[in-house]
């Protein structure tokens, strides 16, 4: 099972201040917009999502069908197939969104309470 591109998503209180901090660490804005209260920061293959006012805490994020550079990868494991496989293994799935095909997402929580978002954009 391939989960796609990986990033850490952080809930931040001041997007501009967080952007400046991660730029000082060598990250560059790669996606998102400050007007929409989120930025994806990139350094090499490392991605960090900065989200202001969208959720609490931090979560691991996987994007099926995408590379670390947000380019399409084919073939890829569809988010619905990943979800079905996890459910078969007894993993509780929450916050399911999307239809029969195309963009969709869901969340799982690891044994220590860390949130994991599986978010397919295509």
Give the tens place of pLDDT for each residue, 14-73: 999 999 999 999 999 999 999 999 999 999 999 999 999 999 999 999 999 999 999 999
Q: CB-side exposure of 118: number of CA atoms within 13 Å?
A: 25
- When pLDDT is averaged across residues 65-94 and rounded to a whole number, the result is 96
Among 113, 111, 108, CA closest to 3 = 108
Tell me what pLDDT residue 94 has. Answer: 95
| Integer Cα distance of 105 and 76 in angstroms | 15
Strands of the sheet containing 94-98, edge to edge, are: 28-33, 38-43, 46-52, 5-12, 58-63, 115-120, 104-109, 94-98
Tell me what pLDDT residue 87 has. Answer: 97
Name the DSSP class of 35: G
Tell me what pLDDT residue 77 has. Answer: 97
**Positions of E strands within 1-122:** 5-12, 28-33, 38-43, 46-52, 58-63, 94-98, 104-109, 115-120
| Average pLDDT across the chain, whole number | 96
Tell me what pLDDT residue 57 has. Answer: 92
**Better pLDDT: 14 or 1:** 14
At 84 the three-state DSSP class reads helix
Global model pTM greater than 0.75: yes
Tell me what pLDDT residue 48 has. Answer: 97
**62 φ, ψ to 5°?**
-125, 140
């Amino acid at each position: 099972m391939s989960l796609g591109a990986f990033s850490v998503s952080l809930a931040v209180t001041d997007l501009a201040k967080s952007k400046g901090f991660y730029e000082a660490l060598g990250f560059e804005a790669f996606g998102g917009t400050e007007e929409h209260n989120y930025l994806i920061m990139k350094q090499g293959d490392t991605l960090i999502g900065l989200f202001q006012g969208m959720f609490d805490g931090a979560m691991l994020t996987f994007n099926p069908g995408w590379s670390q550079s947000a380019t399409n990868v084919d073939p890829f494991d569809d988010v619905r197939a990943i979800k079905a496989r996890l459910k078969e293994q007894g993993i509780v799935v929450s916050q399911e969104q999307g239809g029969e095909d195309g963009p969709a997402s869901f969340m799982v929580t690891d044994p220590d309470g860390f949130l994991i978002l599986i978010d397919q954009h295509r």
